[in-house]
Amino acid sequence: MERNIEKKQVVITGGAQGIGFSTAEKFLEKGARLVIILDIDEKQGQASAETLKSKYGEGRAEFYKCDITSDLDPVTNTIFDKHGFIDVLVNNAGICNEYMLRKTIEVNVTAVMEWSIRFFDRTRKDKGGNGGTVINIASQYGFRVDQFMPIYQGSKFAVIGFTRSFGHSYRYKKYGVRVVAVCPGATRTKLSTKTKMNDDPSVQKDFEEMLKTETWQEVEAVSNVIAYVFENADSGTAWLSEDSKPAKEV
Ligand SMILES: *[C@@H]1O[C@H](CO)[C@@H](O)[C@H](O)[C@H]1NC(C)=O
């Protein structure tokens, strides 16, 4: 049941565009009952929700403006009051700014943990919930290391470590909440084109050379993997999505 997206109610953070929006479409195509997209960008969020409604049906998409670092309480209370329960949370929102270390960790790590825990509290089966699935979007650099962008790599390792422990089979058996991670490789999004590192020009140059050797995939490759992972992954596992290839457990 938990691995069939049909009739499920899904929340996606950072859902207005990129990987988040593509995942919204994928889940609706596969029969999700409702996809709620959250985003800090109100204009894009509303426009994206309208696109989803006209493509998949009026009642099947909603948008809430949300800063995931400050709006956890009001937004989750509104959603749970209105819809009763949520089956799937996709923690996809991120910011890209190596110059703002604390803010980036707050968005990319702290908020991912806080939102996962809130969803867990509301869905755990031992407290009367229906169970559910959390999908955390990390990165290939959540399990691989190179010499570029240490803050990025450290933060994504944190997300994978958290996912493996929070979703551990021990906990899954007790609580019935599945937690998994997806690790995209080089993917063309608005954020990926904005990537700036805080390093010497010579390192910056080597980094740019390295980027040229990457095979870039489109967001649809990642949302395909996310759907596969939803349908197949055991709790506590992490999956790579790179070079437009099928999901691979890591
Ligand atoms: C935060 O997450 C976004 C989206 O995955 C990414 O583009 C950005 O580089 C990340 N930054 C860090 C420091 O993890």
| Per-residue pLDDT tens digits for 197-250 | 677 888 888 888 888 888 899 999 999 999 999 999 999 999 999 999 999 999
Q: Which residues line ligand 1 (CB under 6 A)?
A: 94-96, 104, 108, 151-152, 155-156, 191
- Domain positions in the chain are 9-249
- The tokens for 203 are 């390192």
Ligand 1 atom closest to Cα of 156?
A: 14
CA distances from 187 to 8, 19, 100, 214, 241 (A): 27, 9, 22, 10, 9
Starting from the edge strand earliest in sequence, which strands make up the sheet with 132-137, in order? 61-65, 34-39, 9-13, 88-91, 132-137, 177-184, 238-241, 248-249
Q: Which position among 64, 152, 170, 172 bears the catalytic label?
A: 152
Phi-psi region of 155 (alpha: psi -120 to 50; beta: other; left: phi over 0): alpha
Mark whether 152 is an active-site residue: yes
**Residue 2 pLDDT class (50, 70, 90 cuts):** confident
Q: Under a CB-based contact definition with an 8 Å cutoff, are residues 25 and 49 in contact?
A: no
The mean pLDDT of 126-131, rounded to a whole number, is: 95
Q: How far apart are CA 113 and CA 117, in angstroms?
A: 6
Residue whose Cα lies nearest atom 4 of ligand 1: it is 94
Q: Please give the CATH topology (third level) of the domain spanning 9-249.
A: Rossmann fold (3.40.50)
**Which residue among 39, 69, 91, 95 has the greatest number of ligand 1 atoms within 8 angstroms of its CB, and so is best to mutate?**
95
Q: For position 97, what pLDDT does the model report?
A: 75
Please give the distance, rounded to the nearest whole angstrom, from the Cα atom of residue 56 to the centre of ligand 1: 30
Q: How many helices (H) and strands (E) does the chain have?
A: 10, 8
